[in-house]
């Protein structure tokens, strides 16, 4: 400020000196006044220049000058730079937060005080069918029209979630979405959504599993208890006693089978996949499966006039099939189970065809085709679930525990193989197992 006063006085002295040179004393007075007004106009122009720049706020257009206005300009420029840096930092943080919300596996929707969408991530868009750009500032109630959600939003009781049917839900593949609203800020609401389909299915499977295990064990236990009471209270002949004891042994064997299969499943789920150190000839493996299949067929049809027609790969083709890596007992159990199921569910006089063929990529396919009653399409995805039965009465007649295909699935998964099921009602089924090339060796063409 002192420099500014000094600068003004210099203008005054210069004007007065010029006026004295032109008109003595009165000239000095007039020169000093004119010099003061010129300085004031010049200073006003500099101020206007600074104000014009401040209105735009563009750093690149900042005027370069000295004096008080120059210092004011420099200070304003530094403040603007600091403000722009803070804005950039805030924007970067905002983008990081939005990127994190985009990466979350849950849906996130930000709603304003009127329940309009301010922002949503892609997962929420997938859950509800939103368009992240088009639906901004649209009312959530107009876009999610599920009655349960409408009631949940209107009640304003957000202490719990509500489960809705997902946008992509179909009768064959239901999708369930959990939605939870969380109030925050000044009347705003955070909507979180997550896919709980797998959780609900797992819970349903757990309930079914407990119910099925209880049923499978309770039924033979009830029979055993009844026979024990009969043996204890009634005088029976040796023949009747022997018959009752035989039935008790049959029920005990049934319980033992269930427990053994459950233990097998538990062991398979907790064991690491087998390595490639143990190799078994495919011919020997399928020969044992054939022996078991033919023996079971003979047992089931021994007193019937018509027998099964069973076709297996020739010994010559199997000699050229090479070896397979894995646990022999597990592989035999899985493949024999598929053959046994075909025998059990194919009526007498029907045909069972077993094939083994190599693929161009070095893998192989083991398939079992039968002419049984076939399986409806809605049952096929659930066949490998524990205790799942298409026809419970038929399964009990054939002596199944309901765990066979679950064991097959786990054995094949451990060996890197896949199970495919194709079936037509009234025409039969084909169960195919595809083994990867990494588990096969020594293949050669016969002849």
- Is residue 393 domain-shared with residue 287, that is, in the same domain? yes
Per-residue CA distances from 240 to 226, 227, 230, 243 (Å): 14, 11, 11, 5
Amino acid 24: pLDDT: 65
Q: Is the CA virtual torsion 132, 138, 144, 145 positive or negative?
A: negative
- Is residue 247 domain-shared with residue 303, that is, in the same domain? no
Is position 447 within any domain?
no
Amino acid 288: pLDDT: 93
CA–CA separation, 49 and 120 (whole Å): 45
CA–CA separation, 28 and 13 (whole Å): 9
- Is residue 312 domain-shared with residue 367, that is, in the same domain? yes
Is position 446 within any domain?
no
Q: Strand 351-358 vs strand 309-311: parallel, antiparallel, or unpaired?
A: parallel
Q: Which of 367, 356, 354, 350 is nearest to 427 (CA)?
A: 350
CA angle 204, 210, 211 (to 5 degrees): 85
- Is residue 253 domain-shared with residue 140, that is, in the same domain? no
The three-class DSSP label of residue 425 is coil
Among 98, 113, 144, identify where a domain stops: 98
Amino acid 444: pLDDT: 62
- Is residue 346 domain-shared with residue 323, that is, in the same domain? yes
Amino acid 81: pLDDT: 79
pLDDT digit string (tens) for the chain, length 447 residues: 555 566 556 666 666 666 666 666 766 766 666 766 676 667 677 777 777 777 776 766 677 777 667 667 777 778 877 888 888 888 888 888 888 888 888 999 999 999 999 999 999 998 998 888 889 999 999 999 889 999 999 888 888 999 998 887 777 778 899 999 999 888 899 999 999 988 888 787 777 777 777 777 777 788 888 888 888 888 878 888 888 888 888 888 878 877 877 787 777 776 778 888 889 999 999 999 999 999 989 988 888 888 999 999 998 888 888 899 999 989 998 999 999 999 999 999 999 999 999 998 889 999 999 999 999 888 888 888 877 777 655 444 545 567 889 889 999 999 999 999 999 998 999 999 999 999 998 766 544
CA–CA separation, 57 and 51 (whole Å): 10
Q: Which of 182, 148, 139 is nearest to 166 (CA)?
A: 148
Amino acid 447: pLDDT: 46
Long-range contacts of 315-321 (CB under 8 A, 24+ apart): 315/283, 316/446, 316/447, 317/356, 317/446, 318/282, 318/283, 318/286, 318/287, 318/356, 319/283, 319/446, 320/443, 320/444, 320/445, 320/446, 321/281, 321/282, 321/283, 321/356, 321/358, 321/364, 321/443
CA–CA separation, 429 and 434 (whole Å): 16
Is position 188 within any domain?
yes
Among 195, 214, 232, identify where a domain stops: 195
Q: What is the CATH number of the domain that holds 421?
A: 3.30.565.10
Domain count of the chain?
4
Q: What is the CATH number of the domain that holds 213?
A: 1.10.287.130
- Is residue 313 domain-shared with residue 393, that is, in the same domain? yes
Q: Which two tokens stand for residue 263?
A: 């233990």
Q: Which of 357, 354, 372 is nearest to 423 (CA)?
A: 372
- Is residue 185 domain-shared with residue 308, that is, in the same domain? no
Residue 435 β-bridge partners: 364
Among 63, 83, 98, identify where a domain stops: 98
Amino acid 31: pLDDT: 66
- Is residue 61 domain-shared with residue 84, that is, in the same domain? yes
Amino acid 107: pLDDT: 92
Query: What is the domain range of residue 251?
Result: 203-268
- Is residue 279 domain-shared with residue 411, that is, in the same domain? yes
Q: Contact at 8 Å (CB) between 51 and 73?
A: no
Residue 279 β-bridge partners: 325
- Is residue 43 domain-shared with residue 131, that is, in the same domain? no
Q: What is the CATH number of the domain that holds 115?
A: 3.30.450.20
Amino acid 23: pLDDT: 63
Q: Which two tokens stand for residue 415?
A: 């060996």
Q: For the full predicted model, state whether its pTM sits above 0.85.
A: no
Amino acid 263: pLDDT: 80
- Is residue 278 domain-shared with residue 264, that is, in the same domain? no
- Is residue 389 domain-shared with residue 286, that is, in the same domain? yes
């Amino acid at each position: 400020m002192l420099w500014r006063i000094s600068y003004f006085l210099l203008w005054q002295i210069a004007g007065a000196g010029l006026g004295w040179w032109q008109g003595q004393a009165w000239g000095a007075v007039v020169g000093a006044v004119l010099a003061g007004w010129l300085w004031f106009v010049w200073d006003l122009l500099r101020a206007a220049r600074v104000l014009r720049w401040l209105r735009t706020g563009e750093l690149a257009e900042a005027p370069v000058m000295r004096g008080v206005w120059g210092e004011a300009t420099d200070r304003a420029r530094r403040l603007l730079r600091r403000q722009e840096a803070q804005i950039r930092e805030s924007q970067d943080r905002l983008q990081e937060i939005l990127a994190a919300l985009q990466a979350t596996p849950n849906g996130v929707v930000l709603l304003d005080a009127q329940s309009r969408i301010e922002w949503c991530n892609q997962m929420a868009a997938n859950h509800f069918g939103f368009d992240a750009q088009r639906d901004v500032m649209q009312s959530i109630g107009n876009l999610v029209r599920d009655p349960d959600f409408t009631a949940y939003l209107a009640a304003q009781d957000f202490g719990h979630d509500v489960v809705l049917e997902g946008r992509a839900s179909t009768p064959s593949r239901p999708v369930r979405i959990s939605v939870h609203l969380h109030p925050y800020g000044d009347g705003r609401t955070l909507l979180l959504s997550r896919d709980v389909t797998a959780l609900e299915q797992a819970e349903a499977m757990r309930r079914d599993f407990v119910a099925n295990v209880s049923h499978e064990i309770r039924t033979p236990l009830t029979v055993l208890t009844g026979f024990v009471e009969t043996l204890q209270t009634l005088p029976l002949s040796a023949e009747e006693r022997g018959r009752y004891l035989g039935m008790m042994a049959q029920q005990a064997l049934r319980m033992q089978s269930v427990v053994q299969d459950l233990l097998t499943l538990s062991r398979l789920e907790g064991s690491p996949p087998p390595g490639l150190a143990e190799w078994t000839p495919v011919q020997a493996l399928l020969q044992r499966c054939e022996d078991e299949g033919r023996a079971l067929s003979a047992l089931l049809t021994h007193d019937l006039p018509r027998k099964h027609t069973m076709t297996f790969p020739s010994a010559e083709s199997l000699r050229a099939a090479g070896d397979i890596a894995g646990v022999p007992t597990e592989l035999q159990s899985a493949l024999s189970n598929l053959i046994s199921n075909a025998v059990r569910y194919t009526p007498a006089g029907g045909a069972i065809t077993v094939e083994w063929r190599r693929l161009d990529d070095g893998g192989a396919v083991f398939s079992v085709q039968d002419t049984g009653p076939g399986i409806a399409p809605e049952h096929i995805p659930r066949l490998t679930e524990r205790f799942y039965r298409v026809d419970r009465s038929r399964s009990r007649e054939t002596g199944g525990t309901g765990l066979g295909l679950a064991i097959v699935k786990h054995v094949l998964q451990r060996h890197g193989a896949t199970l495919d099921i194709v079936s037509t009602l009234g025409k039969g089924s084909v169960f195919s197992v595809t083994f990867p090339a990494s588990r096969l060796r020594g293949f050669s063409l016969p002849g």
